Amino acid sequence: MWDRIEHNGYEIWVMPVLAYGPPAPDTLWHYTAYFCRHGADAHLAGQSTRYQEMVTTFRSEDEARDAGYAEGRRLVDLTPGRAPPHLAY
């Protein structure tokens, strides 16, 4: 299921996905995600930026989700045309 947080005027959406097979106690996870401006229609071309981690595995759904959020915040902060929060006036 998709989960969302907001960060510096952007929405970051993350969905943990199973690395393989049906859920089991030792199942590993990946994530797929995207970020967009608050209120954008993320399904339209150019309205969102998609990213994923399908190589590194995470030991839980929550760990994968947290990693997706951390990467999303990093990418939002690197987005051209957006001043870092400490430089915004």
Greatest extent of the chain over all pairs of C-alpha atoms, in Å: 49
Q: What band does 4 get if pLDDT is binned at 50, 70 and 90?
A: very high
**Model confidence at 86: pLDDT above 60:** no
Percent of the chain with pLDDT over 90: 65
User: Residues with Cβ < 8 Å from 54, sequence gap 6 or more?
Assistant: 30, 32
Query: From CA 33, how far away is CA 72, in angstroms rounded?
Result: 8
Q: Give the pLDDT confidence score for residue 82 in this predicted structure.
A: 58
29-67 pLDDT, tens digit per residue, is: 999 999 999 888 877 878 899 999 999 999 999 999 999
- Indicate the domain borders of the chain: 3-77
